[in-house]
Structures are given as structure tokens and as C-alpha cells.
Structure 1
Amino acid sequence: MNEQQQLNYSRIAEAIAYIKSNFKEQPNLDEIAQKVHLSPFHFQRLFSEWAGTTPKKFLQYISLGHAKILLKDQQATLFDTAFETGLSGTGRLHDLFINIEGMTPAEYKNGGKNLSVNYSFAESPFGNLIVASTPRGICYMAFNDDEANALSDLKQKFSNAIFQRKLDLMQQNALFIFQNDWSKLPEIKLHLKGTDFQLKVWETLLKIPLGKLSTYGNIAEQIGNPNASRAVGTAIGSNPVAFLIPCHRVIQSSGNIGGYLWGNTRKTAIIGWESAKTDIVEM
């Protein structure tokens, strides 16, 4: 690390420490940049490069973490949680949870108790899978030949939710993709829970065309963080919706297939299957 890089690292470390210590004041970009003696524009760019997210989003993650402790561990009210987190009201607390957690503060406080999840099992060209949905969209899809294990994994994702084995219209539209009925794709809605960085990576994966491949480095560049290939790989490995969010279309820059949550053999088979399908369409 050269002298300039060391200086940049020190500034970002100082900024992170400041945000963690002063999040209850909800400092704005200008205030944080001033603390590390940078212009707001330069600081925003530098922070995003080093931390993989913007100062505003990082502040939101810190605020959310504190709010979670108050709601879950201390059973604080929504009003008190908003106040103790430095938010102007319960409306901002609600928006914070919806945008990052994909659920309301009340749903989080109750461990997803008010969240209704339908699930069903299906066959695909690549093995059996479980698909689950909430009223907002598909929340989970995973390859798993053992139904008991599949259901257990789902319940760990949404503890205390109300589960019902039911094949609904959202799931049917999602499963049509295995029948080559890609006309149903616009009808597929997703209900995802993740950090801003994860959501940005998953959104970028959706833009990889059928039958095409990308690399971890390319994805990092597309989201504006060219040095974040490792973080991109972690986000891809956390993909909760197999196949629909096509993490299988991302390989290493060397040409190696790379890892896949549901097995490298399955990943190779899916890539070959999609390539064959696009060849038929082009003919």
C-alpha cells in the first residue's frame, strides 16, 4: 500500500468510526466529509470505493443494526426505537426496514410473525426444488432433493412466519421459466431481503441475457465498484432465489466455472442448457 492509499484508508477508517459513534445525530454527507477534511464529492467517491457502499447507506446500516437491537432484544416501541436511532419518526423507521430488510419494523420485531409465506415443491430439469412466495413476490427458490431439509432451510430464512404449503399464481409464473415460457417473466415479482450492495448485485445479475455469461469483475464494474470482486462473489453466494436471479451466469475471469451454492455440476448443466436453448432460438 503506497502513501496515498494509506492516507485514503486512514480517512475512510476515521469516517466509519465517526459514523458509528454519531449515527444518532444522523450526520449528513457534508458533516462527515468535513471531519476527514475532504470535499463532499471527493469523500463520497472515495468512501464508495473503499467501503463498497455510499456514506448514506452505511449510516442506514448502522442505524438499522441499532434499531434491530432495540426492537428485538429490548422490545422497545416503534416510536422509542425511531427516537433512539435518531430518526425523525416511525415513518422513516418503516422506510428503513422496508428498503433494506424487505419487511416492516413490526414484522421484524415479531420475527416475521405477521408474514405469510406460501411454499411448494416442484421438479425442474436440474433436480427438485422448493419455491416460496409472500404477498409481495417470490422470496425464496432453492434446489434441494430432500423436502424436509428444503423446508427447514426456508423456515430459517423467515423465522416465525406463517407457512402454508400452497402453489399460488406467483409460484406458477416463476416455474413457467423451466418450460421455456419466458413470456411470463414480466409477471414474476420478487420479494427480496438484503443489503443495498446485495440488492444492487442481484439486480445486475438479472440483466445478464439468457445464454450469456459474465464475470465477477464485470459485475463489480457494472455496479460502480471495480475493486469489489470478492464482495460481489459473497453477494452472489447469498442469492436467495436460484435460477430466477441467474447467479449461475457468473464465472471466473479465467474461464473456470467458479462456485455455486447448489453445486458446480448443476451450474455447468444449467449453463449448457441455456446455451442450447438460445442456439435453437437463433436458428
Structure 2
Amino acid sequence: MEGSKMIDSDTAWSAVMRRDRAFDGQFVTGVLTTGIYCRPSCAARHPNRTNVRFFANGADARAAGLRACKRCLPDEVSRDEAAVMAAIDEIRGAEDAPSLTALAQLTGYSPTHFQRVFKRAIGLSPAAYARALREERARDALTGGTSVTGAIYEAGYSSASRFYEGTKGRLGMSASDWRDGGKGRVIHWSVIETTLGAMLVAATDKGVCCLSFNEGVDDLRARFPKAELVAGGEGFRDLFETVTATVEQPVMATAVDIPLDVKGTAFQQRVWDELRRIPAGETRSYGQLAAALGNPKASRAVGGANGANNIAVLIPCHRVIAHDGGLGGYAYGTQIKAELLRREQAE
């Protein structure tokens, strides 16, 4: 790639063929026969590969004598990024979530267009991002021992009713549970023999909260030190059997609707959601995952969120590999990771 070694030509061409918006802003595609350069996601008919050169940015492409495509406006990408960052700063600094109209006026876009720009970059609408930010702040405050009432107002909710309405079904545990580290919650668990070795699976009444390999109840207690741990249970037999079947056939992991009870920040939740979007049999690097989330420079943070995942296979962090194509690390050993990938790719 001209002016950059961050993305190899094969990866860039693959992104162009998919018209992958996640790569917009990372490079531009120069077409020598037409003399123009485009975003990777440009809707124009794909050029012949032999007529294409990739450039790190529009400036490099213009230096080579090319001009910007009037259809996809590749130089607008940086403007979009600046607008999104300005909006994020505004949302984070405001006591009440700014309206879409106010954010659009701030950035110089129409409300409809800015909504599209923001969601393409972040994966959430501005309103959803503001809600996720409040939830994350509430989690942090509750986990840190702040009282429920204090955490509600510290996170930016105007009342307790707004907090419970806004976070219903998304925090997993209730506000008091978060403050007390899960105290009072009942977690049913079992260690099941599988072809991948001993598997620990645990669930609350809301869904699976832990799936790991070569671990036992002591490891589960370390994760949930204040919860009541109960072995087995007829009421969870069907769920655990479904989980076991999914582990034995990991290609099912994104197809079977298994309820999950997960704990994480807004960013971690986004990473975990993106992991579940990776088709069985395919892999992504940390950089590609970060790009899909709209923040190509966040690969280290993506790696941290990946490592914080307590639910193996069902949230398929094994589908993330090193940028050079190697397996990379895995909490439960690369042998299990390799076998999971082999099974998916054999389907």
C-alpha cells in the first residue's frame, strides 16, 4: 500500500470487494484507468484488480495524480470522524443527553445524515450511545461501592425510575446486586465432560453467566464471590444440555438462542456483540474487529474486552486470531482454540 504498511493489499482488496464501511478512512482505492480514488465502500462497479493501487489517504492519492470520486466523497471520511468525536465529547460532558438536532447543529450536518454517520462509526445511534454511557457509569459506580441512589445520579439519570426503566434487561443483575458484587443471586453450575475436556457451565435465572474449560467451582467462586452457588438442578438440565451440544458443535453457537447473563462495560458489550456476528468458520484479527466497531486504533482495548469474556464458545472469542494469521492466545489453551476453529471450518 502506498504510504502505509498497516493494511496489506490483499486485505484492502478484500474490503473493497465487500464494500466494507469499517475500512473507510483507513485507506483509499486508486483506479489508474479512470484517474479517481474512492472509499473502500464505494458503490461504483468494482474496477479490475490490475488497475488498482491503494493509498493511505487522499493526500497520497492526489500526489499520484488522482482525483476524489464525486460519488463516495472519500475526503469526507475525516470530516465524519471529527464530527463523531465532537459529538461524543458533547455527550460525555453534558448533564442531560443532547438531542439529535443539537448534535447535528454542533457538527454542521442535517439530523438525518448525522444519525447515519454516527451509527456507521460507533455502531449505535447518538441516543443509544448516551444510554450506554449512563449504564457504564452506573456499573462503575455500583461496583465501586457507591450507594444505589448515589450511583443513579452520578451516572446522569434524572430519577431512580428513569434508571430502572432505562437499564431493565441490560445490566443483567439489579443495581443492588451490582453494588454488592452479586450478593443474593443464585448461580447453578455443573462440570460436564466434553470432547474438549471438562467444561464448567453456570447460569442464573436470566441465562448463562460462565462457560469455561478445565475449571471448577473454586474458579467460579472467584468470579462471583458473593453469589450463592448451587450444584446442578433439574430446572437447568435442558439449558446445560443445549449448551453442551453447542460446544460439541460450535458452528451452532451463533444460531442457537441461548440466553446469556453477562456483565461488562458498554464497550465490552459492543465487542462481545461483534464477536457473535463473526460467522462460524471465519476469523478476525483484533485490528479487523476494532475496525468493524468503527475505531481501527482500538485493537488493544478490543483485546482487553476479548480477554474479559467469561462465556467461551457462546461469545466466540476463539474466532479472534493474531494479525499474522497465527492462533494468538486463548484463556483455555490454544489446543482447544484450534480444535474449535477446526470443527467450525469443517462444517
TM range (shorter): 0.7 to 0.9
Q: For residues 41-72 of structure 1, give each alpha carbon's deviation from its aligned partner in whole angstroms, at most 9, with x where no partner exists.
A: 44444445655654323322432344346656
The alignment partner of 1:164 has SS state of strand
Identical-residue share of aligned pairs (%) = 29
Question: Equivalent of 1:62, from 133, 153, 173?
Answer: 133
What's the TM-score once normalised by structure 2's chain length?
0.61
For 1:16-31, list aligned pairs within 5 A. Answer: 16-22=88-94, 24-31=95-102
Query: What's 1:225 paired with?
Result: 294
Partner of 2:184: 114
1:39-78 map, 5 Å: 39-48=110-119, 53-68=124-139, 71=142, 73-77=145-149
Provide the rounded CA distance (Å) in 2 between the counterparts of 1:87 and 1:261. 37
Match of 1:33 in 2: 104
C-alpha displacement of 1:9: 5.5
Q: Counterpart of 2:163 in 1: which secondary structure?
A: helix
Contact 1:100/1:195 (8 A) holds in 2: no
Q: Is the 8 A contact 2:194 2:248 kept in 1?
A: no
Q: Against the structure 1 CA distance between its residues 10 and 244, is the aligned structure 2 distance closer, same or farther, given a 3 Å change threshold?
A: closer
Q: 1:164 aligns with which of 222, 225, 230?
A: 230
Contact 1:97–1:105 under 8 Å retained in 2: no
Letter in 1 for 2:91: I
Structure 1 or 2, whichever has the larger Rg, is 2
Deviation at 1:135, TM superposition (A): 0.6
TM-score (norm 1): 0.72
Match status 1:257 vs 2:323: no
Could you report, residue by residue, the CA deviation over 1:92-114 in whole angstroms, capped at 9, with x for unpaired residues?
A: 31244345422222322332223
Counting only pairs closer than 5 Å after superposition, residues 102-251 of structure 1 correspond to structure 2 as 102-145=172-215, 147=216, 151-152=218-219, 154-167=220-233, 168-169=236-237, 170-178=239-247, 186=256, 188-206=258-276, 208=278, 210=280, 212-216=281-285, 225=294, 227=296, 230=299, 232-251=302-321
Residue 133 of structure 1 and its aligned partner are, at CA, apart by 0.4
Residue 84 (structure 1) shift? 6.0
8 Å contact from structure 1 (residues 220, 229) kept in 2? yes
RMSD: 3.9
Query: Residue 242 of structure 1: CA displacement?
Result: 1.0
> What is the number of equivalent residue pairs in this alignment?
268
Aligned match of 1:92: 162
Residues in 1 aligned to 2:146 and 2:303: alpha-carbon distance in whole angstroms: 35
Where structure 2 has 5 or more consecutive residues not aligned to the other structure, the ranges are 1-56, 60-74
Give the 3-state SS of the residue equivalent to 1:245 in structure 2. coil
Cα distance between partner residues in 2 of 1:194 and 1:28: 26
Residues 61 and 42 (structure 1), Cα distance of their counterparts in 2 relative to 1, 3 Å cut: same
Q: Distance in 1 between matches of 2:252 and 2:296?
A: 36
Q: State the distance in 1 between where 2:252 and 2:322 align.
A: 30
Deviation at 1:193, TM superposition (A): 2.7
In the TM superposition, what is the alpha-carbon distance from 1:137 to its structure 2 partner?
A: 1.3
SS in 1 for 2:218: helix
1:260-279 mapped onto 2 (5 Å cutoff): 260-276=330-346, 278=347
Using the alignment, how far apart are the partners of 1:35 and 1:116 within structure 2?
48
Contact 1:113 1:160 in 2 (8 A): yes
> Which letter does structure 2 place at the counterpart of 1:119?
W
Structure 1 unmatched runs, 5+: 279-283
Q: Quick one: distance in 1 between partners of 2:323 and 2:140?
A: 41
The superposition leaves residues 73-95 of structure 1 with CA deviations (integer Å, 9 ceiling, x where unpaired) of 44253xx7556655354343124
Paired letter, 1:104: S
Partners of 2:275 and 2:85 in 1: how far apart? 30
Task: Sort the Cα spacing of 1:181 and 1:36 in 2 relative to 1 into closer, same or farther, 3 A.
Answer: closer
